[in-house]
Amino acid sequence: SQTIHQWPATLVQPVGSPLSLECTVEGTSNPNLYWYRQAAGRGLQLLFYSVGIGQISSEVPQNLSASRPQDRQFILSSKKLLLSDSGFYLCAWSVTKGAQPQHFGDGTRLSIL
């Protein structure tokens, strides 16, 4: 069966520091991968998605970037964090885009001080 792992679960970082959140998927090949941010009381905001290694689409211009160095690895990064980057970040995978369920990791709670 397929599993998705995200780490760390929680992270506290100072403003201006770099960020690296990692997500890996097991049990499937060539998944579609997604990074979302979830604000309290709001729907999920799609940040990036990837259909293959090295292929990244950015949905919202901002202080973050994503990379997919391996088929089942998706990384969310920032060179300099802003206070507004605080939030709950979720990684997800799916077989296809828009026609099959997306399956989510347990998220990273990021707090910027």
Partner 1 sequence: GESVGLHLPTLSVQEGDNSIINCAYSNSASDYFIWYKQESGKGPQFIIDIRSNMDKRQGQRVTVLLNKTVKHLSLQIAATQPGDSAVYFCAENDNNNDMRFGAGTRLTVKP
Least distance (Å) between residue 16 CB and partner 1: 27
What CA–CA distance (Å, rounded) separates 104 from 4?
7
Nearer to partner 1, 40 or 83 (CB): 40
What CA–CA distance (Å, rounded) separates 102 from 95?
8
Strands 103-104 and 108-112: unpaired
Select from 11-19, 63-71, 72-80, 98-106 the region that touches partner 1 (CB under 8 A): 98-106
Least distance (Å) between residue 79 CB and partner 1: 26
**List of residues contacting partner 1 (CB under 8 A):** 6, 40-44, 46, 49, 59, 90, 92, 97-99, 101-107, 109
